C-alpha cells in the first residue's frame, strides 16, 4: 500500500528531467572528459595546493594527449579586520579567488571562462605560531573548496556539451 502512494512522486521526479551527473561512473562521458583535463603549474604556494587539489578531483593522469587544458590564476589575500583596544588586529579574513579557463587543446577554443572564490575568518591570537598555522589551514580549506567549485562547473559544462 505504501509503495502505491509513492508511485506518483517517482513519476514526477522522473518527468522533471533530472539526471545523475556521473552516469556510467568512472567510464561515463563526464568522468572521461574530466580525466582528459591537464592543469599546468600555478604560481605560488596557493598555486601548488590548488593544482594538487584539482588533479585529485579531476582524476587526471599524464598530461600527454590531454583533450583540455585548465589555466588558473589565483588571487590570495589576507586582510586585518577587527581592531582590539590596544590597536592590534584581532581578526583576519583570507580570500582566495580563482580565474580559470578551460581550453580545447586541439582547437584552442575557450570552452569555459569563469571565476570562483571563497573566504574564511581567522582569529589572531597571542601566539604568532598559532596564527600562522590558522592562516595556512584556512588556505588549505579554501583551496579545496574552490577546487570543488571549479570541477563542478567543468563537469556541468562537459555534460551539457555532450547532450
DSSP string, 49-88: HHHHHHHHHHT---STT-SEEEEEEEEEEEEE-PBPTTS-
∠ Cα 161 162 163 (to 5°): 95
At residue 152, the pLDDT reads 93
Residues in CB range of 54: below 8 A, 6 or more apart: 39, 60, 70, 72, 147, 150, 151
Range of the domain at 80: 19-162
Residue 13 counted as domain residue: no
Measured distance CA(70)–CA(51) in Å, rounded: 10
- Whether 90 is covered by a domain: the verdict is yes
Q: Residue 139's Cα: distance from chain center in Å?
A: 13
- Quick one: what percent of the chain has pLDDT higher than 90? 48
What's the whole-model pTM score?
Answer: 0.78
pLDDT value at position 131?
Answer: 85
Determine, yes or no, domain membership for 60: yes
Of residues 7 and 142, more confidently modeled: 142
50: Cα separation from own chain's centroid: 9
Mean pLDDT for 28-33 is 68
Tell me the average pLDDT across 145-150.
97
Average pLDDT of the chain, as a whole number:
82
CATH number at residue 149: 3.30.160.150
Q: Look up residue 102 and give its three cell numbers.
A: 578551460
Task: Indicate whether 88 belongs to any domain.
Answer: yes
Tally of structural domains, the chain: 1
pLDDT single digits (tens) 54-103: 999 998 755 667 889 999 999 999 888 777 767 677 788 899 999 999 99
Indicate whether 21 pLDDT > 70. Answer: no
Amino acid at each position: 500500500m505504501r509503495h502505491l502512494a509513492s508511485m506518483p512522486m517517482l513519476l514526477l521526479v522522473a518527468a522533471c528531467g533530472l539526471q545523475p551527473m556521473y552516469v556510467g561512473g568512472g567510464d561515463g562521458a563526464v568522468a572521461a572528459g574530466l580525466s582528459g583535463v591537464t592543469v599546468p603549474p600555478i604560481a605560488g604556494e596557493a598555486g601548488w595546493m590548488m593544482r594538487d587539489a584539482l588533479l585529485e578531483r579531476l582524476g587526471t593522469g599524464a598530461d600527454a594527449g590531454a583533450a583540455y587544458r585548465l589555466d588558473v590564476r589565483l588571487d590570495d589575500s589576507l586582510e586585518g579586520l577587527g581592531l582590539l583596544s590596544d590597536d592590534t588586529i584581532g581578526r583576519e579574513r583570507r580570500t582566495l579567488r580563482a580565474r580559470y579557463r578551460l581550453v580545447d587543446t586541439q582547437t584552442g577554443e575557450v570552452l569555459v571562462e569563469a571565476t570562483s572564490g571563497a573566504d574564511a575568518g581567522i582569529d589572531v591570537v597571542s601566539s604568532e605560531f598559532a596564527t600562522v598555522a590558522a592562516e595556512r589551514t584556512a588556505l588549505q580549506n579554501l583551496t579545496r573548496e574552490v577546487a570543488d567549485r571549479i570541477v563542478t562547473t567543468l563537469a556541468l559544462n562537459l555534460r551539457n556539451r555532450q547532450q
